């Protein structure tokens, strides 16, 4: 299990606004700013349930090297996150639906954030009991 990830973005304020609009659909509602020191960069974090696990930092993005899959707890969360991402300016990769090439119970949507990073919102029914599929 991962503890955290740093995502390098080209325009930090734009990315903060984007993720503040998208992540609440997945229950990720906590924000935290870390002022870098001793060679560590400033970080803008997002999390839930007492943990900050998704961090943004200013720099030169390399979107072809990054794919982030966010856990959704239902098909409705996948749809809500996808809709929020598109409304916030994301480019659609694929709309919500079953990903039959993986498993018929794998429900997901994908979009590109403002820097072009591939984001996936994923509900795997065998890992999470359906709330409102």
- Is residue 19 pLDDT above 80, yes or no? yes
Quick: pLDDT tens for 76-98.
999 999 999 999 999 999 999 99
pLDDT, mean over the chain = 94
Average pLDDT over residues 37-59: 95
**Listed residue (13, 10, 129, 9) closest to 68, CA to CA:** 9
Whether the predicted pLDDT of 2 surpasses 90: no
What domains are defined for the chain?
Answer: 5-124 (3.10.180.10)
pTM: 0.91
């Amino acid at each position: 299990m991962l503890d955290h990830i740093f995502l390098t973005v080209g325009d930090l304020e734009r990315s903060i606004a984007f993720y503040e609009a998208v992540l609440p659909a997945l229950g990720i509602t906590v924000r935290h700013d870390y002022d870098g020191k001793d060679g560590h960069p400033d970080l803008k974090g997002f999390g839930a349930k007492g943990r900050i696990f998704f961090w943004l930092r200013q720099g030169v993005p390399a979107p072809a090297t990054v794919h982030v899959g966010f856990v959704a707890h239902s098909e409705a969360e996948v749809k809500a996150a996808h809709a929020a991402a598109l409304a916030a300016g994301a480019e659609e990769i694929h709309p919500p639906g079953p990903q039959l090439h993986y498993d018929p119970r794998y429900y997901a949507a994908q979009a590109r954030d403002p820097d072009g990073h591939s984001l996936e919102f994923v509900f795997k029914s065998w890992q999470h009991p359906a709330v409102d599929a």
